[in-house]
Structure 1
Amino acid sequence: MQKINLACLIDDDPVHVFLSKKYLKQTGMIENLMVFQNGKIAFDSLAAIVQEGGELPKVILLDLNMPIWDGWQFLDEFIKIPIEEEITIFILSSSISNKDIEKAKKYNQVSNYIIKPIKIENLISLLEKIR
């Protein structure tokens, strides 16, 4: 099994970040993890990586409800960046709103919408699909 070299978690909830990091480590499928507390910081950092020609994450785990920039604002700006490699985006949200779920489906870049809390089995299943 080949590991994913770099993943990105964008979430402001320290408990969810802790659990996600723990689960990602337990899967043994992720080599390195970038963590950002809001969409603006994540966007600025990823845009700088693109500009510098650095390595982008293969997968982004994105929360919707965050301060500064929420997940939607991040998505709206991130999809404008000309990126050649494929990046899989999973929305991880506590929102069970059909409106949010349907909105997520309108983004070609979003592969799945997962309602928090995520279970390690679900995480493994998602990651196996992109390797």
Structure 2
Amino acid sequence: MSQIGLACIIDDDSMYVNLVKKIIEAKKLCKNLMIFPNGMEALDYFEALLTSLNKKCIPEIIFLDLNMPIMDGWEFLDNFTKIKNKLGKTITLYIVSSSINPTDIEKARQISMVKDYLIKPVTIEDLEAIFSNQVL
């Protein structure tokens, strides 16, 4: 099974991020992991990539939190949807949130680029399934 080259976590919860990072590293689910504390920093990164288009710097998977300061997950999705196709690489996006609000879940499922909505805490099994399904 080939390993995912690059995954991205956009989340301001450092305890959650560190936990997921440890699981991904321990299970060797991907080679590299990028972490952004809010949607704005992540969006700035992706917009900068539009000029270089270095495919190695574009993650195959994004885990996106909804509730963050500066730019939340919904705002990130609105903006990212506009530039995603210009990146020239398939990116699978998962929303990972502590929100169990059915409105949030339904809204997320209406967005075509959202593969799934995961409720925190994400389990080791969830992560293993996501990364193994991603391998082509």
TM-score range, shorter chain: over 0.9
Task: Determine helix, strand or coil for the equivalent of 2:18.
Answer: helix
The answer as to whether partners of 1:6 and 1:30 remain within 8 angstroms in 2 is yes
Tell me the CA shift for residue 106 of structure 1. Answer: 1.1
Among 101, 104, 127, the residue aligned to 2:105 = 101
**Equivalent residue pairs, number:** 131
> CA deviation digits over 1:21-45, x for unaligned, max 9?
0111122121001100000000001
- Bigger helix fraction: 2
CA contact (8 A) 1:58 1:88 kept: yes
Identity of aligned residues (%): 46
- Matched residues in 1 for 2:45 and 2:87: separation? 14
Partner of 2:65: 63
TM-score w.r.t. the length of structure 1 is: 0.96
Q: Is the 8 A contact 2:6 2:32 kept in 1?
A: yes
- CA distance, structure 1, for counterparts of residue 62 and residue 27 of structure 2: 16
CA RMSD of aligned residues (A): 0.9
1:27, 1:104 → 2: CA distance?
A: 28
What's the CA shift string for 1:71-118, capped at 9, x where partnerless?
000011001002321100011100000000000111111101000011
Counterpart in the other structure of 1:44: 44
Residues 2 and 29, structure 1, Cα contact 8 Å, conserved in 2: no
SS in structure 2 of the partner of residue 79 of structure 1: helix
> What residue in structure 2 maps to residue 28 of structure 1?
28
**Counterpart in the other structure of 1:79:** 81
Unaligned stretches of 5+ in structure 2? none
Q: 1:83, 1:125 → 2: CA distance?
A: 25
